[in-house]
């Protein structure tokens, strides 16, 4: 578990609702008390979805940072503080799972666009270094191509759905996806698979 802030025993008898009202007034002691009460619960929820304790710790920290920096997000009429924190933990954990899956899909797509070199590609090369290379390469794409790539591999949209979302012809959407993947493939060739032949410009 991440280290908890130091709580205040005097606040232990106060209700969650009263503590949250204090958090909304930037009361650090009230925040620490709520952290002490619910950090373990948030962490357990995150672990159950992520199956990764380190990633769950990041989600736990993210949930409580969000509570502190955006206290107005909690609406008492929609449930208790406990219920809200549990739902927020689930949402952030699911977002983390989807982000990891989208990075893997994008990495696989970019690698698949690399023509095979003298040695056939090995699945083992899809390492964290390659994922990092692809993520960096995505940031360097022209805006139009980057948007199309993210809509396809992060949001899971088809070329037809991308064309409708962006108000462009479907052929243009397909071209942007293809051009973006070719650029990513060149980056993978340069940084992640030096034996492959370069993709023609």
Query: Crossing angle, helix 128-140 and helix 81-112, to 10 degrees?
Result: 90
79-123 residue pLDDT tens: 899 999 999 999 999 988 877 776 666 666 655 554 544 444 444
Report the CATH architecture of 9-98.
Answer: Orthogonal Bundle (1.10)
DSSP per-residue codes, 9-25: GGGGGS-HHHHHHHHHT
Say if residues 72 and 58 touch (Cβ distance below 8 Å): no
Distance CA 194, CA 188 (A): 8
Six-digit token pair at 42?
A: 């948030």
Query: Given this model, what pLDDT does residue 52 score?
Result: 86
- The verdict on pTM exceeding 0.85 is no
The CATH code belonging to domain 113-191 is: 1.10.10.10
Q: Is the dihedral of CA 25, 30, 32, 36 positive or negative?
A: negative
Q: Where are the domains of the chain?
A: 9-98, 113-191
- For 54-65, how does the pLDDT look when each residue is reduced to its tens digit (9 = 90+)? 889 989 988 999
Name the token pair of 201: 């410009």
**Residue entry with tokens 């503080």:** 81
Topology agreement, domain 9-98 and domain 113-191:
no
């Amino acid at each position: 578990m991440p280290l908890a802030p130091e709580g205040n025993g005097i606040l232990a008898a106060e209700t969650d609702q009263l503590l949250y009202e204090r958090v909304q007034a930037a009361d650090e002691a009230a925040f620490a008390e709520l952290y002490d009460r619910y950090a373990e619960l948030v962490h357990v929820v995150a672990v159950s979805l992520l199956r990764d304790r380190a990633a769950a710790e990041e989600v736990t920290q993210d949930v409580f940072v969000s509570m502190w920096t955006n206290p107005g997000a909690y609406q008492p009429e929609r449930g208790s503080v406990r219920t809200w924190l549990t739902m927020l933990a689930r949402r952030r954990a699911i977002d983390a799972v989807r982000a990891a899956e989208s990075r893997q899909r994008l990495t696989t797509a970019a690698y698949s666009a690399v023509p095979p070199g003298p040695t056939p590609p090995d699945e083992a090369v899809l390492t964290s270094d390659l994922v990092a290379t692809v993520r960096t390469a995505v940031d360097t794409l022209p805006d139009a191509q980057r948007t199309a790539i993210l809509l396809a591999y992060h949001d899971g949209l088809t070329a037809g759905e991308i064309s409708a979302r962006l108000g462009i012809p479907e052929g243009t959407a397909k071209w942007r996806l293809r051009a973006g993947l070719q650029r990513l493939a060149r980056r993978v060739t340069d940084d992640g698979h030096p034996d492959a032949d370069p993709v023609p410009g």
